[in-house]
Amino acid sequence: MSSQAAVFLGCSRSGVGCLVPSTWMDRRKCCVQLSVHPSRGLIDEKFNVQVQKFLPGCQLTVHALHRCEDRNSWEAFGHYMTDASGTVNVSQDTSVGGTYSGVEAMGLLWSLRPVPGSKPGLRLRKKNVQTPMEVTISVYQGHQTEGFVDQVPLASVLVERWYMAPGVRRIPVTEDGLTATLFLPAGPGPFPGVLDLWGAGGQLVEYRAALLASHGFASLALDYLTCKITMETGKMVDNQYFETAYRVLQQHPQVLSSRMAMLGFSFGTSFTFKMAVYSQVIKLRCAVCIGGSHVQPIDASVKEMFTYFNNNASKIRVNEKNEVIWRDVFQPTADPSIKVDMGRLQCPLLLVVGEDDQNWPASEAAKDMKEMMERAGNSHLLTILSYPKTGHLIEPPYTPHVRASIFRIFDTHQKLMLLWGGQTVEHSRAQEDAWKKILVFLRENLYGAANPSATLSSHL
């Protein structure tokens, strides 16, 4: 052995290493098997990562690397010990260190974070939903914490994570002045329709609508801030814009006109609450609001909402890290003239609340809405999902959590570091649980209950 090149192998139960010839190591390397199943899955689908045929009682690091569309790299890793048969099964075994710990089947995805040396304030969002998110899963010897790029792994596989299931159709919509994208599920239809609204960042964000279509809902992602009309005329859209979007979706031959919902996030919840309660055109079977508030001047247009925001700018705080906290701006007060009258709501509403939301006062708003609805006698329509240590950005599961990130104001292009809140572990659990329940809620209300006598919230 002394005459051959040797490799230090961190092995054996006592943690003491041993020297082995590198030719032997080469042979071992070609035996170790890394598999991820499924290798092509939907974003919200679980996968199973297994390492097999390595040595027993050995330290291994399972690592995930993703290079996103804007060329930043994100990584996650877990520290494991192979069992007596030289196997690590991420769904069953305990990670004893890394970016996640414990038994976490999907930790390699939800604990992804920018690699050391990255710019601060990054956020991971897929722009092109027609291609998959590609993640390289690798296994390294020993318990590594850095320098992965400089090392050769024992094995490596590529995994695809898709927002669009096969057969889902993506259709840009520009009629009637809209800037939107329609996603139709595979199959004959007709399908229930969901109008999908994002927040104050603007842009046409498609990924959640694409994923909803993969679950059987015809979904329209709508840009209402940086849409063509606003970019060309400088004027923000009026409330009719949302009604037009609803109408266009509803009248599509493959959409069930009587089975429509709205799903709003953040600033998008403002319009969801408003339309659900006041619109004569929009008749929803149900609504989902994530991380938002019903506080707004009654019947405010988009422009008026921003005016309200600016008038309350004194309530914006900045913490010691220069992270901007917006949560106090849309706080509910006793004044009914700046709240949507939730007592007039006539359809089931699911509120998803992060208790550590630093951007919108979702918790306080939910509490206020509940009180309004209890007084009005329609609180049986309300279901609240409230998650401790969970922040503002409650997104589809198994995508990374960020506590703060750079936010570009859509019209001035000014950049801020916004504090979203949340602790990674709890926030990731919340995303997984909330998404599951959102799908059940939509399915029950839009496709009909499996058990006709079941109440709306009993399944949740």
Partner 1 sequence: MLRAGLSVKTLWQLMEMKTKTCLKVHGRMADLQHAMGAFRWMSSVRPAPVLTAAPVRALIDEQISIKGRFLPPNSPITLCSRMHSEDGDLWEAFAHYNTDASGSFSLTSDRSVGGSYTGCEPMGLFWGLHPPPGSREGLRLRKRNVETPYTVHVSLLKGHVSPSGGPITELAAVTTERSYMAPGVRRIDIRQNGIVGTLFLPPGPGPFPAMLDMWGMGGGLNEYRSALCASRGYASLSLAYFEHKDLPGPLRELNVGNEYFKSAFRLLQDHPQIVAERVGIVGLSFGVYLTLNLATQPGINPSCLICINGPMGRSHFLPGDKGEVKYWNYDERGYIAFRQISLPSNMAPEYKVKMEKINCPLMYIIGEDDLSSASTENADQIEEELRAAGKSHLFTRLSYPGAGHLIEPPYAPNARVTMWRIKPEKMVALFGGYDAPHAAAQEDAWRKILCFLESNLRG
The token duo for 427 is: 């926030």
- Could you confirm whether 392 is annotated as catalytic? yes
Q: Which is nearer to partner 1, 256 or 425 (CB)?
A: 256
- Rounded Cα gap, residues 441 and 289, in angstroms: 12
Alpha helices in 279-408 (DSSP H): 302-311, 362-376
Give the separation between CA 301 and CA 271, rounded to whole angstroms. Answer: 9
Q: Is 67 in the site for partner 1 (CB under 8 A)?
A: no
Q: What Å distances lie between residue 204 and 213, 243, 249, 458, CA to CA? A: 16, 18, 16, 34
Query: Catalytic: 357?
Result: yes
C-alpha closest to that of 367 among 379, 135, 414, 73: 379
d(CA 163, CA 131): 8
Interface with partner 1 (CB under 8 A), residue from 86, 153, 268, 396: 153
Asked if 318 interacts with partner 1 (CB under 8 A), we say no
Binding to partner 1 in span 250-309, by CB under 8 A: 251, 253-254, 256-259
Q: Does 30 bind partner 1 (CB under 8 A)?
A: yes
Torsions phi, psi of 413, nearest 5?
65, 15
Residue 38 touching partner 1 (CB under 8 A): yes
Q: Quick one: which of 65, 159, 288, 349 contacts partner 1 (CB under 8 A)?
A: 159
Under rule CB under 8 A, residue 216 binds partner 1: yes
Using CB under 8 A, which of the segments 97-105, 186-194, 232-240, 307-315 binds partner 1? 186-194
Candidates 134-142, 320-328, 348-356, 406-414: pick the segment binding partner 1 (CB under 8 A).
Answer: 134-142
For partner 1, the binding residues in 388-447 under the rule CB under 8 A are 443, 447
34 binds partner 1 (CB under 8 A): yes
Binder of partner 1 out of 42, 220, 295, 342 (CB under 8 A) = 42
Is 166 one of the binding residues for partner 1 (CB under 8 A)?
A: yes
Name which position in 138, 272, 359, 383 contacts partner 1 (CB under 8 A): 138
HSE-CB at 182 with a 13 A cutoff on CA atoms is: 23
Of 17, 56, 97, 190, the residue at the interface with partner 1 (CB under 8 A) is 190
Cβ 258 to partner 1 shortest distance, Å: 7
Pick the piece of the chain touching partner 1 (CB under 8 A) from 31-39, 376-384, 400-408, 434-442. 31-39
Catalytic choice (63, 215, 252, 392): 392
> Does residue 448 bind partner 1 (CB under 8 A)?
yes
Query: In terms of CB distance, is 261 or 290 closer to partner 1?
Result: 261
Q: Please choose, from the candidates 341, 411, 418, 352, the residue with its C-alpha nearest in 3D space to the C-alpha of residue 375.
A: 341
Residue with tokens 């004044």: 335
Query: Does 449 help bind partner 1 (rule: CB under 8 A)?
Result: yes
Strand order in the sheet with 33-37: 33-37, 48-52, 88-89
Across 227-348, the runs of DSSP E, i.e. the strands, are 255-265, 286-290, 317-318, 324-325
- Nearest distance from C-beta of residue 48 to partner 1, angstroms: 11
**Shortest reach from residue 255's CB to partner 1, in Å:** 8
The DSSP bridge pattern shows strands 6-9 and 18-21 to be antiparallel
Q: How far is CA 170 from CA 183, 189, 219, 402, in A?
A: 5, 15, 10, 28
SS3 category, 73: strand
- How many DSSP H helices and E strands does the chain contain? 9, 23
Q: Does 147 bind partner 1 (CB under 8 A)?
A: no
Binding of residue 41 to partner 1 (CB under 8 A):
yes
Looking from the CA of 335 toward its CB, the CA atoms found within 13 Å total: 9
Work out the number of other CB atoms within 10 angstroms of the CB of residue 159: 22
Nearest distance, CB of residue 146 and partner 1, angstroms: 19
Among 55, 115, 186, 417, binds partner 1 (CB under 8 A): 186
Q: Residue 295 Cβ, how far from partner 1 at the closest point, in Å?
A: 35
Segment holding 428, helix H or strand E: helix 424-447
Nearer to partner 1 (CB atom), residue 381 or residue 425: 381
Cα distance between residue 94 and residue 92, in whole Å:
7
> Do residues 212 and 194 make contact, with C-beta atoms less than 8 angstroms apart?
yes
Contact track, partner 1, 328-367, x by CB under 8 A? ----------------------------------------
- Which residues are catalytically annotated? 266, 357, 392
Residues that bind partner 1 (CB under 8 A): 26-27, 29-31, 33-34, 37-42, 53, 134, 136, 138, 152-153, 155-160, 162, 165-167, 186-188, 190, 216, 251, 253-254, 256-259, 443, 447-450, 452
